[in-house]
Amino acid sequence: MKINPRRKRSDSAAAAVAAVQAVALGPLNPPEHVALRPGDRPFWDAIVTARARDTWTGPDLVTAANMARSQADIERLQAEVDAEGYVIDGKVSAKAKLVETLSRRVVALASALHVHALATQGRARDAGKVLALERKARAEQDDDDLIPHLRAVA
């Protein structure tokens, strides 16, 4: 019989403490045998914070590093495509094709890691409900200038 350790209930005090501790530790670092370039790090941090810290395995972290490198490469190549043009001598740029290939890789890796929108944000109909609430709040905010509202600080 296979015995799996039980996960903490997400609504428990222990889970709340674990979440605060995970945030205090900051994003996970890549395994020592995985090299990230300086430009990869922002993507790495975004990927590994999209899931709970204690859910990452060693192979997941290697896959996350591949995803971070791919995203950094997309940004670099897209800047070059923007400067050089999407079509060169009547043909689609090789760099533009590579951006497309890397974009597909990122989508596949996000799915494998469970860091895609459905896994992190929930079902689309639920996101639509949240969006509807935001739109309603925005409309109500514009209705009355006498009521103070929160403002973003630039």
The pTM for the full model equals 0.68
* 8 Å CB contact between 113 and 67: yes
| Inside any domain, residue 55 | yes
Is 148 within the bounds of a domain? no
User: Residue 150 falls within a domain, yes or no?
Assistant: no
Banded model confidence at residue 55, pLDDT cuts 50, 70, 90: confident
Instruction: Supply angle C-alpha 78, 84, 86, rounded to 5.
Output: 65
Lookup result for tokens 């639920």: 126
How many domains in the chain? Answer: 1
**pLDDT tens digits, one per residue of 88-111:** 999 999 999 999 999 999 999 999
Give per-residue pLDDT as tens, 60-82: 999 999 999 999 999 999 999 99
Residue 152 lies in a domain: no
Instruction: Determine, yes or no, domain membership for 91.
Output: yes
Enumerate residues 6+ apart whose C-beta is below 8 A from 37: 69, 72
DSSP category for residue 87: E
Q: Residue 51: which domain range?
A: 13-143
